[in-house]
Structure 1
Amino acid sequence: MLADAIRAEGYRLSKNRMTVFWSVIFTPLLFAVGGIAYHLNKAQGDKLAAGANLPTMPVSPVNLAEALTFTANLAAEAKLGGMILVFMLIAGATVYAGDYRWESWRLISARNDRTSLILGKVGVMKVLALATMLVLLVASLLFFASQAIIYQRPLSFDMSLAEAGDTLLIWLLSCIRIVQFGLIGLLTAIVTRSMLAALFVPLALGFGQSILGIPPLMAFLGLHPDGWAAQLLMPGLSYDALKTLLVPGITPAPITAAALWPAIVGLALWTLLPLGASIAWFKRQDLSKE
């Protein structure tokens, strides 16, 4: 039943090419094109500096293994990762609220149980999150490779087993964060039956949490980055804390080991509670007119 729901949702989404483009391809494409343009511009500046006998950066190999860590760290963080979270909401709103928009629930719900229908949508969004990260990895490889080509630097691939393990954990954590952010849209879609609400409510909530996470405001409110209150209120902070604890120094946040369990619980609650509430609400919902 669940496998049927996942296949059906995946097939429907695959036919919506514009949604897939904006959610999966647009941000990595923008990053790749912008990165190559940056390297070309910087190379021109280095030539001018060399002509004026000014010091330039020494030539060193470009380590393509850094693209793996770079992608994992970037996928769900506040800058480019913020764009990925935002554009993934386009797919999230389409998948989670599309059946309300097109009034097709009464046709689908007769063919599968409601829990499987919701989990099928979540499963498709998990696959889409992973696909987005893989496309971002390709864009990162282009970014690093273009650096080698434009600056005429050799390529290398150097990564220890410990670094590979850390990178894999950050990849998993970033994927969880993308899915978690979208689950707010799932709950919103089921409660409001609105595609626009499923798109904008997570954005508004995420923006509010980012404002709350500003260090002076946290200090004013008496919230400590390591404390339970801050970690339970802000899943983005929990994500950053876990990244910092997995690979120290990867983020500048003042996080200590005391944040480990608050961060795990905070991110888990913001993932499981919206999912559980969505299933419970959907089971009791009247779909006779949807």
Structure 2
Amino acid sequence: MLADAIAAERFRLIRDRTAVFWGFLFAPLASLLFSLAGDIFVRLAFHRTIPGATTDLANRAMGAVAGASGPVTALFLLIGAAAIVAGDYRWESWRLVTPRNSRLNLLAAKLIVFAEASAWSLLLTALAAVLAGLFSSVVNAAPLVGSGVGSAFLGQFAGVFLITWLEVLMIGALAALVGVVTRSTMGAVIAGLVVVVVQSTAAAAVQAASWKTLAIPAYAARTLKTFVAAPEGFRPDAGPAGLGLVMLLVWLAVLATGALVLFRRQDLTKE
């Protein structure tokens, strides 16, 4: 039954082109266009290239993925998550679908489909960074160089990708929880964005790692990314990174479980 719910939710998302574009495609495409425009502007304004400049496509891709969970990108992810999770409140269609499957399966399917779409969005972000790097290399006559860590880059990139994806899944779970409580797509977006901005601001002001600071998702993720992306001989202590991973998983479990429990008990006779 869960597989049927996932297939149905995936089909609905594919048909909702507005949600797909604004939620999962716009941010990567906008970053690509902004980078291209910046390179063209600098080239036309200064009429010369920077001597000795090089282009590292690997670091560009990893940096783009690492920053894909910031407040600006989170806004568009919240739009996509709200459309998936809370769209049935807007269209008052819950009473049509709940008799066909269990509530647990229906909401779990929405979260799983969001996880799939966000993973593709992160991959598109990395691809956009690579394309922007190739364009910059040509326009600025900056030769391509390999990553300084060699084959270890694949492991670092995979680690950063998974950590960022975990952050994005938290954004989706947050949108689900707020969407269930408010029964509104706009409420899920606005309240979710406020939470993301507040915790990102708090994480930027924190320096020392402790269990209290690592309870801030953005700070825990930053600590994890620093640990994973650091060269083998220069990695910081693994203790804070491990605790940060536990905190992120706990937050994800709490938000997703809260959304599922509340939705299971919710009165949907008018939805």
**TM-score where L is the length of structure 2:** 0.90
Does the 8 A contact of 2:52 with 2:142 survive in 1?
no
Structure 2 residue 134 is matched with structure 1 residue 141: no
Partner of 1:28: 28
Residue 178 of structure 1 aligns to a residue whose secondary structure is: helix
Structure 2 residue 38 is matched with structure 1 residue 13: no
Question: How far off its partner does 1:156 sit?
Answer: 5.4
Alignment of 1:232-271 (within 5 A): 232=215, 234-248=216-230, 256-271=237-252
**Residues 63-107 of structure 1 deviation map (CA, whole Å, 9 limit, x = unaligned):** 43334323332222x3xxx32211011111111111111111111
Partner of 1:196: 186
**Residues 138-176 of structure 1 deviation map (CA, whole Å, 9 limit, x = unaligned):** 211221110121123444555632111111111111111
Partner of 1:230: 213
**Residues 11-57 of structure 1 deviation map (CA, whole Å, 9 limit, x = unaligned):** 11111111211112212222111111221222235535x8xxxxx42
Does the 8 A contact of 1:226 with 1:256 survive in 2?
no
Structure 2 CA distance, aligned partners of 1:214 and 1:47?
Answer: 37
Does the 8 A contact of 2:81 with 2:114 survive in 1?
yes
Structure 2 residue 57 is matched with structure 1 residue 58: no
Question: How far off its partner does 1:199 sit?
Answer: 0.9
RMSD after superposition: 2.1
Partner of 1:72: 65
Does the 8 A contact of 2:223 with 2:240 survive in 1?
yes
Q: Which amino acid in the other structure matches residue 286 of structure 1? A: D
Q: Which amino acid in the other structure matches residue 164 of structure 1? A: L
Q: Which amino acid in the other structure matches residue 104 of structure 2? A: T
Residue 57 of structure 1 aligns to a residue whose secondary structure is: coil
Partner of 2:78: 89
Q: Percent identity?
A: 29
Q: Which has the larger radius of gyration?
A: 1
Structure 2 CA distance, aligned partners of 1:174 and 1:156?
Answer: 25
**Aligned residue-pair number:** 266
Structure 2 CA distance, aligned partners of 1:229 and 1:241?
Answer: 13
Does the 8 A contact of 1:228 with 1:262 survive in 2?
yes
**Residues 181-213 of structure 1 deviation map (CA, whole Å, 9 limit, x = unaligned):** 121110111122122211111111122223333
Question: How far off its partner does 1:241 sit?
Answer: 1.0
Q: What is the aligned counterpart of 1:110 among 99, 105, 109? A: 99
Q: CA 1:119–1:231 in structure 2 vs 1: closer, same or farther (change >3 Å)?
A: same
Does the 8 A contact of 1:225 with 1:259 survive in 2?
no
Q: What is the aligned counterpart of 2:121 among 132, 135, 158? A: 132
**TM-score where L is the length of structure 1:** 0.84
Partner of 2:151: 161
Structure 2 CA distance, aligned partners of 1:155 and 1:236?
Answer: 32
Q: CA 1:47–1:86 in structure 2 vs 1: closer, same or farther (change >3 Å)?
A: same
Structure 2 CA distance, aligned partners of 1:155 and 1:264?
Answer: 34
Structure 1 CA distance, aligned partners of 2:3 and 2:53?
Answer: 52
Structure 2 CA distance, aligned partners of 1:90 and 1:196?
Answer: 8
Partner of 1:53: none
Structure 1 CA distance, aligned partners of 2:80 and 2:194?
Answer: 17
Bigger mean CA deviation after superposition, 154-163 or 269-278: 154-163
Structure 1 CA distance, aligned partners of 2:201 and 2:160?
Answer: 24
Structure 1 CA distance, aligned partners of 2:76 and 2:66?
Answer: 18
Structure 1 CA distance, aligned partners of 2:143 and 2:241?
Answer: 40
Does the 8 A contact of 2:78 with 2:175 survive in 1?
yes
Does the 8 A contact of 1:23 with 1:84 survive in 2?
no
Which blocks of at least 5 consecutive residues in structure 1 are unaligned? Answer: 51-55, 219-223, 250-254
Structure 2 CA distance, aligned partners of 1:111 and 1:247?
Answer: 46
Q: CA 1:157–1:260 in structure 2 vs 1: closer, same or farther (change >3 Å)?
A: closer
Does the 8 A contact of 1:39 with 1:147 survive in 2?
yes
Which blocks of at least 5 consecutive residues in structure 2 are unaligned? Answer: none
Q: CA 1:281–1:168 in structure 2 vs 1: closer, same or farther (change >3 Å)?
A: same
Structure 2 residue 170 is matched with structure 1 residue 180: yes
